[in-house]
Amino acid sequence: MATARLSPTANLLRKSRLFALPQALKPPQDPPTSKVVFESDTATLPHPTRASIVTPASSLARGDWGLKRSLPAKSTSAKSSRPVVRVNALDTFEHVTDFESAADHTVTLEKFQELHMPLSLPSKVNYATSIVPRHQSPFESYVDNTDTSKGLEETGAKQFRHSGPWLAGQTEAEFSAYLKKVRSNKPALLQKLRQLFSEKRTAERRKQAQDNGEDLQALEPVKVTEEEFQTYLKSLRTDPFSLGPVVFELLDLPSPPAVPSDRIGHKYYQSPGTKLSSAEYAVSGPPKTHPSAGLSYTRSHALIYNHPKFGPQAYQRPVEARILRPKGRFKGRTSKAIAGVGGIAVEDLNAMTFVEQGSPPGLAYFDVSIPGGAKYWVTPIRASVDSEGRIGLASYRASATAKAPYNIEDYKKPSLTTISDVARGDQRVAPRLDKQKPRFRPSREPQHTTEDIAKNLMKTLSSS
């Protein structure tokens, strides 16, 4: 079979790695607030917006990254042993390639994959009871659906994305633009509403026939007249409580947050039960990406961690967490401690239950005497991605059973009764602690000035 001939330009684009780069995503929007927000332009974003680019070692030595021009080694290979970059602009006004390091998100991905954690659907964690919600994988067939998935035909199926926008997260300008789009599509929407009304009448007729014991196979679809349809429209317009579910189903809109309690006595547009895969999406909005965000494709945590010496373990190897913010009081309330696990900021679930004697050093207050900063060992138990693309990780303090096979312990501050490592070791010669330190004694020799040194030098030269 003869192959199709390609032009040199088409062949170049077909084999170009640069041509295969996906389009950059929009950066996350800041929440609207009237307070002063302090932020950094160089801070790591919650999720990556541009693709990371790597190059083989042979090409890295020449500075070849498959781009329009070579990148300097001083900013790439000289800074890191595994350089990864992302391109902001291929060619700027100054004829340079604007790039930066992409190691922030790349290393975070590698650290997260080392945790061997499956992604769960987001769920609110109750810190008062320390009960972790049950794991629910986003890859199950009844929740991994969009508005075009065939799995929506199943009973009780959920979806994580609708074709319509989330009205609670729109600005006034975005909502006005969406209304203009809906008005222009009014004939098609009326036809779809007529079809929904016909299906509703047919379902009511089948229910009535089933109660009367009639043959359901002989029933035909109910035909709706124009007069009945107009009457149905007038009834919906006069009753906002009934019009709400019809509008959400007609426009395929995700459910908004719950109605405040002070508005229950007033007339409002009732929304139907949420079809989103998680109840948290009804509060914060549908996810921008897939609920797993591509971080992990493991469906469950049913894994056995096999220790080379002690065999299968009930717990995985604990992870060392760095305390970023200790517990404290803010506006009269006790705030939770925040620790860093694998590059992810985690709220400590056990911070409220720890007693001061059993808590790790540096958790109750900032302690500068701990070498290397305050750290302690944790066991990750649940991970999820919220609607804004942020990773939510829940972890418990590692138990003694989980730390015993790996011979790891939390740092303990030395006290007056602590035995030193020298006494515990095999060294037979103990260092003398009562050895007197040499005192500084000022010299009694006469001080020579610059003039004396010059005179002595002249005498030496004249005598020679």
- What whole-number distance in Å separates Cα of residue 340 and Cα of residue 344? 5
- What whole-number distance in Å separates Cα of residue 226 and Cα of residue 347? 59
Q: What is the pLDDT of residues 117-155, one digit of tens each?
A: 899 999 877 656 667 788 899 999 899 998 888 888 888
First and final C-alpha spacing in the chain? 104
Break the chain down into helix, strand, coil percent, rounded to 5: 25, 15, 60
pLDDT at residue 433 greater than cutoff 60 = no
- Provide the b/e sequence for 109-144 (b: ≥16 CB within 10 Å): beebeebebbbbbbbebebeeeebeebebbbeeebb
With H, G, I as helix, E, B as strand and everything else as coil, classify residue 74: coil
Q: What is the pLDDT of residues 304-313, one digit of tens each?
A: 888 889 999 8
pLDDT at residue 246 greater than cutoff 60 = yes
Q: Confidence band (pLDDT; 50, 70, 90) for 178? A: very high
> Which range among 277-281, 353-357, 368-372, 379-383 shows the weakest confidence by mean pLDDT?
353-357
Q: Confidence band (pLDDT; 50, 70, 90) for 439? A: low
- What whole-number distance in Å separates Cα of residue 253 and Cα of residue 273? 12
- What whole-number distance in Å separates Cα of residue 189 and Cα of residue 5? 47
> Which range among 59-63, 64-68, 354-358, 427-431 shows the weakest confidence by mean pLDDT?
354-358
Are 393 and 343 a contacting pair, CB within 8 Å?
A: no
pLDDT at residue 84 greater than cutoff 90 = yes
pLDDT at residue number 356: 43
Are 326 and 365 a contacting pair, CB within 8 Å?
A: yes
Mean of pLDDT values over 357-384: 85
pTM over 0.95: no
Crossing angle, helix 240-251 and helix 226-238, to 10 degrees? 110
pLDDT at residue 339 greater than cutoff 50 = yes
